């Protein structure tokens, strides 16, 4: 008997809930793993809104890492600096409206960005300068991201049970769950 996967008529020509350029916005995902002390960058997802971004991030990045907290940040809200770019030597002293920023540090090439902490700063460049002064030592840190704190969309702690626990006892989600026949050798 043969029964193929049904053809979903018209799916490809229907565009729903996307932004004007027909692409969903990109969101950067940060997960605090169980036992971890800080949120770790986990790459990105695409989603039309914050709620969908959180759900997509959960389904994409919590399948194999057991997480206890989840953040998504619109990619466009993040200002980025790396060691090859010049930075002002001193902080901005302008007293105008300051606000809270979250700083993420990459400590060496190839490592993931880690949430380092919060700082009060006048603007994105000022936030990067202050993050460098506060969180980097001379021998440490090759890149910094900053985002206004209010740009962070965090999973509601009351929903942690629903978001994170279902992954806890599902060994079959891990590749190591499956026995590999001897003939296959190393994969």
Partner 1 sequence: MDTITTSRPLATYLIRHGDDNLVLAQRLAEYISWAPELEEDLAIANIALDHLGVAHHLLAYAASVEGDGRDADALAFLRSEREFTNLLLVERPNDDFAVIMVRQFLFDAYQVPLWEALAGSADTTLAGIAAKAVKEARYHLRHSRNWVVTLGDGTEESHRRTQHAFDELWRFTGEMFVGDALDTDMAAAGIGVDPASLEAPWRRTVLEAIADATLSEPEDTTVRVGGRSGFHTEALGHMLGEMQWLQRAYPGLEW
Residues that bind partner 1 (CB under 8 A): 1, 3, 5-6, 8-11, 14-17, 24, 45-49, 51-52, 55-56, 58-60, 63, 159, 161-163, 165-166, 169-170, 172-173
- Please, how many CA atoms are within 13 Å of residue 110, restricted to the half-sphere of its CB? 0
> Closer CB to partner 1, residue 56 or residue 69?
56
CB of 66 to partner 1, least distance (A): 14
Looking at the Cβ atoms of 9 and 37, the one nearer to partner 1 is 9
Q: What are phi and psi of 128, to 5 degrees?
A: -65, -45
> Within 13 Å, how many C-alpha atoms sit on residue 48's CB side?
8
Q: How far is the CB of 79 from partner 1 (least distance, A)?
A: 25
Q: Which is nearer to partner 1, 50 or 78 (CB)?
A: 50
Q: Which is nearer to partner 1, 67 or 141 (CB)?
A: 67
Of the pair 6, 110, the CB lying nearest partner 1 is at 6
Q: How far is the CB of 106 from partner 1 (least distance, A)?
A: 25
């Amino acid at each position: 008997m043969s029964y193929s996967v049904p053809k979903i008529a018209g799916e490809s020509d229907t565009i729903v809930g996307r932004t004007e350029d027909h692409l969903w916005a990109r969101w950067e995902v940060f997960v605090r793993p169980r036992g971890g002390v800080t949120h770790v960058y986990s790459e990105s997802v695409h989603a039309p809104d914050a709620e969908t971004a959180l759900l997509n991030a959960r389904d994409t990045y919590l399948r194999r890492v057991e997480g206890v907290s989840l953040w998504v940040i619109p990619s466009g809200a993040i200002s980025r600096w790396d060691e090859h770019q010049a930075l002002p030597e001193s902080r901005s002293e302008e007293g105008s409206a300051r606000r809270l920023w979250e700083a993420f540090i990459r400590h060496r090439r190839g490592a993931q960005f880690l949430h380092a902490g919060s700082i009060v700063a006048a603007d994105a460049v000022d936030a990067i300068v202050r993050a460098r002064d506060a969180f980097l030592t001379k021998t440490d840190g090759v890149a910094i991201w900053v985002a206004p704190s209010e740009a962070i969309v965090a999973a509601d702690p009351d929903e942690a049970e629903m978001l994170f626990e279902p992954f806890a006892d599902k060994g079959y989600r891990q590749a190591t769950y499956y026995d590999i026949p001897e003939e296959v050798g190393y994969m």
